[in-house]
Amino acid sequence: MELFFDLVFVFTLTQLTVLLAHDLSFATAGRVALILVVLFWMYGAYAYLTNQVPPDRPSRRLLLMCGMAAFLVCALAIPRVFQDTGVVFGAGFLLVVVVHTVLYTRSHGWDSIWYGVTNALAALSVTAAGLVDGVAADGLWLLAIALQFVTPFVAERGPGRRDGRGTAVLREQLGALDPAHFVERHGLLLIIAFGESVISIGVGIGDLPLTPGLLTGAFLALALSAALWWTYFVRDEEAAEAAFRATPPPARWRLAMNAYYYAFLPMLLGIACLSAGIKTTLGYLTQHPHWGPALALAGGVALFLAGDAAFRTTLGLRPVRHRAATAPLALATAAVGVRMPAYGELLLLVAVLVAMLAIEARWCARTAGTSRSRDTAGAGG
C-alpha cells in the first residue's frame, strides 16, 4: 500500500521534470523548487504517518487512498500551476492535509490538530497564490513554506497533552518512529525517482534512429544515474538505519527532519534536474548544448551530491569531504559542456562520479584496515 502511494507521489516528480524541461531557466527552476519543497513536506508527513499508523485496516487504507487521489490532483495541476491551475492544486493540497490530520488522530489523538492547523494554513496560502500572479504568487508560496517550517516547533512545543513531569506526550510520540521502516520508505522513494531519470532516456530518444552514437549517449545517461544510485544505496542506507537506532527515541524526530527532509530535498531536486537535462540532451548529442541543458545535467549531479553530503553530515556518516568536494566540480562541468558535443559532458560527469567513488572506496578500505590493526594491537597488548 505504501509503495503504491509512492508511485502516485513520484508522478509529481515526473510533472516537475516536464515543467522544467519545457523551460530550462532559473525562474522555472526556482518555481520547481518551491513546488517540491511544499509537496515533499507532506510526503514526509505521510511517511511518518504510516510509520505510526500502519494501513492495516480498511478505514485506514481508504483514507490513504483519498490522500493518494489528492496528491494526483496536485500532480495533474503542476504544469500550469502558476498560470490557471493554482487553485486546483491548492484544493488538492488542502485535501492532502485534511486526510493526513484525520489519520494522525488515530495514534496521537486530537492534539494532532495543533500541527494540522499550520499545515492547513500553508495549503490555503498555496490556494490563494492561484488567484494572483507574479511576485505575489511567489510570495504566497514562500509563506506556505515558512508555515510548514514552523510546524515542527508547534509539534514539539505546542500545547499538547503533558505528563506529570511537564513533558509534552505528543513530542515523545513523534520520536517513537521505527528506523527500519522510515529509512526503507525514503529509500523506495529515491529508487522510484531514479526511475524517472531512466524514463527520460526513452523520452529524450523518442523515435530517433537507434544509431551507435545515440545508444552510446543512452548508456552514458544510464551510467550517470547508476553512479548516483551507487553513491547512496551502496553505503548510506544501512548506515543511516544504524545511526537512527543509536539515537535515543526522543531525538529521532529532529534527526529525521534534518536528514530525510532538509537534506533529502536537494537530492530529489537533483534527480529532477538531471532527468530534465537528459530529456533535452539525448536528441542532440553531436551538438553543443545551450547553457540550460548543460546546467541541468551538471546542476542535477551537484545538487544530489550536496544533499547527500548534508545527509551524511546530519547522521554522522563518514566520509563526507569527497562528496562535498565533488559537488562544485560536477557543477563546473557545465562550463566545459557548452564547448563540446553533448555526449562529452555526459562522459565527463560519469568520469567525475566514478573517480569520486573509487577514491572514497580506497579511503574506506584504508580506514577499515587501520581500525583492524589497532584492534589486533590492542588484543595483543
pLDDT tens, position by position, 148-188? 988 877 766 655 544 444 345 455 555 678 888 899 999 99
228 and 150, same structural domain?
Answer: no
153 and 8, same structural domain?
Answer: yes
244 and 312, same structural domain?
Answer: yes
325 and 269, same structural domain?
Answer: yes
* Residue ending a domain, choose from 118, 139, 174: 174
pLDDT of residue 167: 42
pLDDT of residue 164: 45
* Residue ending a domain, choose from 150, 174, 198: 174
153 and 6, same structural domain?
Answer: yes
250 and 364, same structural domain?
Answer: yes
pLDDT of residue 71: 94
C-alpha cell at 187: 529509500
Q: DSSP string of 348-369?
A: HHHHHHHHHHHHHHHHHHHHHH
* Residue ending a domain, choose from 174, 196, 211: 174
Long-range CB contacts (within 8 A, 24+) of 102-108: 102/63, 103/49, 103/53, 103/60, 103/63, 103/64, 103/67, 104/49, 104/52, 104/53, 106/53, 106/60, 107/52, 107/53, 107/173, 108/52, 108/170, 108/173, 108/174
116 and 134, same structural domain?
Answer: yes
Q: In the chain, which stretches have pLDDT less than 50?
A: 161-167, 169, 375
pLDDT of residue 380: 52
220 and 96, same structural domain?
Answer: no
146 and 293, same structural domain?
Answer: no
Say if residues 73 and 89 touch (Cβ distance below 8 Å): yes
Domain count, the chain: 2
pLDDT tens, position by position, 252-271? 888 888 999 999 999 999 99
Which residue segment(s) compose the domain that 289 sits in? 180-368
Domain membership flag for residue 378 = no
Domain membership flag for residue 92 = yes
Domain membership flag for residue 380 = no
186 and 165, same structural domain?
Answer: no
Say if residues 221 and 346 touch (Cβ distance below 8 Å): yes
